[in-house]
Amino acid sequence: MILIEALGHAEAAMHTAEVSADLNRPLLAPPATEDIRAGSARLLAEQRAVLVPDLARTLALL
């Protein structure tokens, strides 16, 4: 799963991402631009997601 947080849908995206991580499914996330305690930044900090800094790296991991 690739996590992209969309405005207005962040809660649904995070729920899906957390379930994916709990099921040991690969979770890819772009660099966090928000507070380290929220969203993909938190999942990256907790090492529950893999950082994918660009499209080429994302495609390589798929």
Q: What is the pLDDT of residues 15-35, one digit of tens each?
A: 888 888 888 888 888 776 666
24 within domain boundaries: yes
Domain that holds residue 31: 10-61
Mean pLDDT, residues 1-11 taken together: 63
Mean pLDDT, residues 42-53 taken together: 84
Residue 44 has pLDDT above 60, yes or no: yes
37 within domain boundaries: yes
Domain count, the chain: 1
pTM of the entire predicted model = 0.65
CB-based contact 41:35 (threshold 8 Å):
yes
CB-based contact 45:35 (threshold 8 Å):
no
Residue 11: how many other CB atoms lie within 10 Å:
10
2 within domain boundaries: no
27 within domain boundaries: yes
- The structure tokens listed for 37 are 């305690």
Dmax over CA atoms of the chain, in Å, equals 29
